Amino acid sequence: MKKRILVVEDEKDIADLVKLVLETQDYEVKTILDPESAVKTIREFNPDAILLDLLMPKLDGWEVFKIIREDEQFAGIPIAILTAKSAGFDEMVGLHVMKADAYITKPFGKQELLDKTDELLKKSGKQ
């Protein structure tokens, strides 16, 4: 059975690129451009892992991250932060304060994206 990856990214070009790369590894990938529909989509799609952009309009990625983490239904779904925020401080906050499972800085390479996604699935026990 294909592993399901949800990509929450407001920039369509980046969302499409992530989807294309992950589908080469036979993942089932769903992308959403609107962070406000993330929770509904998670319930419907039931992903094995989530790649979440931080800098989005209306509802930023940290708010979406908190909503996901506070919902018991989503317990155990690993989340990777996908962001242009490349400062070491931002990564430290993401990984150690917010407790994200991975941190992917844009621009990223194909292999980095694949490696981090594999890491996420291993954390969920679904690899």
14: containing domain = 4-124
What integer pLDDT is reported at residue 95 of this predicted model?
52
Chain-centroid distance, C-alpha 4? 11
What integer pLDDT is reported at residue 35 of this predicted model?
87
**Residue 23 and residue 67 in contact, taking contact as beta carbons nearer than 8 Å:** no
Chain segment 71-105, per-residue pLDDT in tens: 999 988 999 988 775 555 455 455 544 678 888 88
CATH number at residue 9: 3.40.50.2300
**Residue 21 and residue 113 in contact, taking contact as beta carbons nearer than 8 Å:** yes
User: Residue 16 — pLDDT band, cuts 50, 70, 90?
Assistant: very high
**Domains held by the chain: number:** 1
